[in-house]
């Protein structure tokens, strides 16, 4: 059975357009509640955790999910605005059958989405998502009044998560003497990340910490690093850390304001683990990971394998290989020996450990990896598309690969979260890469128009 609503990271779209509507989300809560209760074997009343980011529509969808879940006989615990990885953590520690996050991650405020965690704090298996979609096809029927679920708000969720984040570094580790700029994207980390770094001793300069429901990811955060880069240079701090709207991604800038992306951060963490005797045999990246990461890891004696784009596929590959580190160039980094999903704050602390232990600045530390020139262009499309149905696209890809002559890569990938096809070209000649990517993107746009 295929999936109509679920993409690579839950269900996402523009608020008010199907399926991101109050009536659909209410029924989604009911349908998922029925599935979760069935998966739990029907033993006792089940609990589901709900968290959200700071976009204004979160209030509406929180209420809708709550209504649907209790109508299915599920108890609900509300966390309020909390990072996605915090919801995964609380799902595990509260013995819930599932966790639900209301967020569109790095998208603008006018989008929203619903994503799920299993009882173990991992993304749902495909089979469970398909079961939820099957329930959505049924008529909603409320349980008997005596069986309706109850709702509780968890008032100390932020404090619990802050303490968890601090517990992921060794006892005695501190950031005293470091000046760090922290950009929270006016998102779910706004009341969490500055506290974590401050309580570990850093002198923190914060930005993106005044959410108003509409400014999430707007000119701030990991999807727009210019403001953080400027702040780092103007304030003369040691480095900058930027999160996305729901806090599962992180990027850095060094003291000169230069971007340090997810591939480079993965390399720094992997090398630190290797030096401290905590390394596995390899690291998992994705089809989008820079070739420079693969070569740098190989030079350290580490293997590198590529999963499909999407953190769930990275996690699956990590489990298959028996490795504990993987991630994406976007800054979605998973340290599975610490937590179950991508966590921006946890990953940031791992990078800061590497910097402190090396006793050099970030700009110097990152020099061990040389990135290959890579250009990506997003081509807007009207809906889902199967690129195999367009032979002219395949021909254009073949022509670009021929021009690269084995010195680079080409990747075309429909986004799992937005109506776009991502066109990526990578090689050793920056000018050629830029030119070929523009040509290929134009061809894709013509073919899919």
Q: Which two tokens stand for residue 76?
A: 């609900």
State the residue for tokens 């108890």.
Answer: 75
Q: Is 105 one of the annotated active-site residues of the chain? A: yes
Residue pair 416/312 in contact (Cβ under 8 Å)? The answer is no
State the residue for tokens 């590959």.
Answer: 317
Tell which residue, 211, 299, 297, has the closest CA to residue 247. Answer: 211
334, containing H or E segment: strand 333-335
Q: Which two tokens stand for residue 167?
A: 């517990």
Residue pair 259/253 in contact (Cβ under 8 Å)? The answer is yes
State the residue for tokens 């602390």.
Answer: 349
Residue pair 387/414 in contact (Cβ under 8 Å)? The answer is yes
Q: Which two tokens stand for residue 295?
A: 């070569």
Q: How far apart are CA 118 and CA 13, in angstroms?
A: 22
Strands 47-52 and 75-81: parallel
Report DSSP state, residue 123.
B
Alpha-carbon 316 to chain mean position: 15
Q: Which of 32, 103, 105, 222 is catalytic?
A: 105
Known catalytic residues? 105
């Amino acid at each position: 059975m295929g999936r109509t609503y679920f993409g690579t990271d839950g269900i996402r779209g523009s608020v008010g357009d199907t399926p991101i509507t109050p009536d659909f989300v209410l029924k989604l809560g009911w349908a998922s509640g029925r599935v979760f209760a069935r998966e739990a074997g029907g033993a006792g009343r089940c609990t589901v955790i709900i968290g959200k980011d700071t976009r204004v529509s979160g209030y509406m969808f929180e209420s809708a999910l709550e209504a649907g879940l209790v109508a299915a006989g599920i108890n609900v615990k509300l966390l309020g605005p909390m990072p996605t990885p915090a919801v995964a953590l609380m799902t595990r520690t509260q013995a819930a059958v599932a966790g639900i996050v209301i967020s569109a991650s790095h998208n603008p405020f006018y989008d929203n989405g619903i994503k799920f965690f299993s009882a173990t704090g991992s993304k749902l298996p495909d089979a469970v998502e398909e079961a939820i979609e099957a329930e959505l096809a049924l008529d909603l029927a409320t349980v008997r009044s005596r069986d309706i679920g109850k709702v509780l708000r968890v008032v100390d969720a932020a404090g619990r998560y802050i303490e968890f984040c601090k517990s992921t570094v060794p006892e005695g580790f501190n950031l005293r003497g470091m000046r760090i700029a922290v950009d929270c994207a006016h998102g779910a980390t706004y009341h969490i990340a500055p506290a974590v770094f401050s309580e570990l001793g850093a002198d923190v300069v914060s930005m993106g910490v005044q959410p108003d429901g509409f400014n999430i990811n707007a000119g701030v955060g990991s999807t727009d690093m210019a403001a953080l880069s400027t702040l780092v240079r103007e304030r003369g701090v040691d480095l900058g850390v930027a999160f996305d709207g729901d806090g599962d991604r992180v990027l850095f800038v060094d003291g000169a304001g230069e971007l340090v992306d997810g591939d480079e951060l993965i390399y720094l963490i992997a090398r630190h683990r290797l030096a401290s005797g905590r390394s596995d045999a390899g690291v998992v990246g994705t089809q989008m990971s820079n070739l420079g990461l693969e070569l740098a890891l190989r030079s350290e004696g580490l293997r590198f394998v590529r999963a499909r784009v999407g953190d769930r596929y990275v996690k699956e590959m990590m489990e298959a290989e028996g490795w504990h580190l993987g991630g994406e160039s976007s800054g979605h980094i998973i340290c599975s020996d610490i937590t179950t999903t991508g966590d921006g704050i946890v990953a940031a602390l791992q990078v800061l450990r590497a910097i402190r232990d090396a006793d050099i600045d970030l700009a110097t530390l990152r020099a061990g990896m040389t990135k290959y020139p890579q250009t990506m262009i997003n081509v807007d499309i009207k809906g889902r598309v199967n690129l195999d149905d367009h032979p002219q696209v395949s021909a254009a890809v073949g022509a670009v690969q021929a021009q690269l002559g084995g010195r680079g890569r080409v990747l075309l990938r429909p986004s799992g979260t937005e109506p776009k096809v991502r066109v990526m070209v990578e090689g050793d000649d920056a000018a050629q890469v830029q030119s070929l990517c523009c040509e290929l993107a134009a061809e894709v746009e013509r073919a899919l128009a």
